Amino acid sequence: MNDTTIVGAFLGLIEGLTEFVPVSSTAHLLLAGHFLGFKSPGNTFEVLVQLGAILAILSVYFARLWALAIALPSSPKARHFVGAILLAFLPAAVIGALAHDFIKSVLFESTALICWVLIGGGIILLVIDRMKLTPKYTDVMDYPLSLAFKIGLCQCLAMIPGTSRSGATIVGALLMGADKRSAAEFSFFLAMPTMAGAFALDLYKNYGQLAHDDIVTIAVGFVMAFIAGVIVVRGLLDFVSQHGFALFAWWRILVGGLGLVGLWLLG
């Protein structure tokens, strides 16, 4: 195993540990890659390695997804839920396709911006976590379509690296009346089409740039992301129900601050 493959495995572990918590997996991958001197063609690794996280959540939720698929023809509630997820996915699908090149070539390269967004998002998460919000929605199956669409709009903020896809959707859901557990769970379900769409678009646009070594590195990262993702998904809902999001908020502030110090010292 060469050095690049080892770095790919390490970054895959980071992806799996951070994708479903509100700390921005993309920011962690870009910052770690920057300071480790790792650069993938067109920043493809940071997107394609998400396949491991996608399969992790599919494996954990397989029984529930299968039950939904079986119930679709006869259950209005199942059709409502699937429609809510697709509606929430729509804004990111449109904006992501239109702004893909700008996101990858400009925002992904703005390392200082990523650090500041991490810190700012951590402060916002701390404030939200301490607010005395009265939840109106506790079951993701009952989220109104209007709520789902607004959560989808919040998800678009995550196209700025450092914001966090899960963070944007969870905070948006909390402010609009969801409880912490269902907000995190809706974020899980919304991740499936969103990450799959980003994976497919990035692979389509950049597959011609990938050499054999790049594919091996991505594959190793994918395996590590899958293993770590399964562990996180299995434990996260219970954790946030009991402890909230303060730990993730402070972690964001710490990583963003260390990133700025590293940029100041090392460039």
User: Per-residue pLDDT averaged across 250-264, rounded?
Assistant: 95
Q: What residues does 178 pair with on adjacent strands?
A: 137
pLDDT at 208 over 60: yes
**pTM for the full model?**
0.87
User: Per-residue pLDDT averaged across 74-102, rounded?
Assistant: 94
Contact status, residue 121 vs residue 28, Cβ threshold 8 Å: no
Judged by DSSP in three states, 137 sits in strand
Q: What is the pLDDT of residues 144-160, one digit of tens each?
A: 999 999 999 999 999 99
- Delimit the domains of the chain by residue range: 3-266
User: Per-residue pLDDT averaged across 50-65, rounded?
Assistant: 88
What local confidence, expressed as pLDDT, does residue 108 receive?
86
Q: What is the pLDDT of residues 108-147, one digit of tens each?
A: 888 999 999 999 999 999 999 888 888 999 999 999 999 9
Calculate the CA 67 to chain-centre distance: 25
Q: What is the pLDDT of residues 5-49, one digit of tens each?
A: 888 899 999 999 998 889 999 899 999 988 988 887 767 787 788
What local confidence, expressed as pLDDT, does residue 241 receive?
79
Q: What residues does 156 pair with on adjacent strands?
A: none
- Based on C-alpha coordinates, what's the Rg of the chain? 18
DSSP alpha helix (H) spans, the chain: 3-18, 25-36, 45-48, 50-60, 62-71, 76-105, 111-130, 145-155, 165-175, 180-206, 212-243, 246-266
Q: What is the pLDDT of residues 79-88, one digit of tens each?
A: 999 999 999 9
Per-chain mean pLDDT for the chain: 90
Which of 167, 124, 132 has its CA nearest to residue 28? 167
Question: Distance between CA 115 and CA 108 in Å, rounded?
Answer: 12
Q: What is the pLDDT of residues 240-252, one digit of tens each?
A: 878 888 999 999 9
Which of 31, 26, 21 has its CA nearest to residue 48? 26
Q: Cα dist. 222→69, 179, 250 in Å?
A: 26, 32, 27
Question: Distance between CA 205 and CA 208 in Å, rounded?
Answer: 8
Which of 169, 224, 227 has its CA nearest to residue 195? 169
Backbone torsion region of residue 41, taken as left when φ is above 0, otherwise alpha when ψ lies between -120 and 50, otherwise beta? beta
Phi, psi of 178 (to 5 degrees): -85, 155
Q: How confident is the model at residue 1 (pLDDT cuts 50, 70, 90)?
A: low
Judged by DSSP in three states, 178 sits in strand
Question: Distance between CA 46 and CA 153 in Å, rounded?
Answer: 23
Amino acid at 69: A
Question: Distance between CA 222 and CA 49 in Å, rounded?
Answer: 5
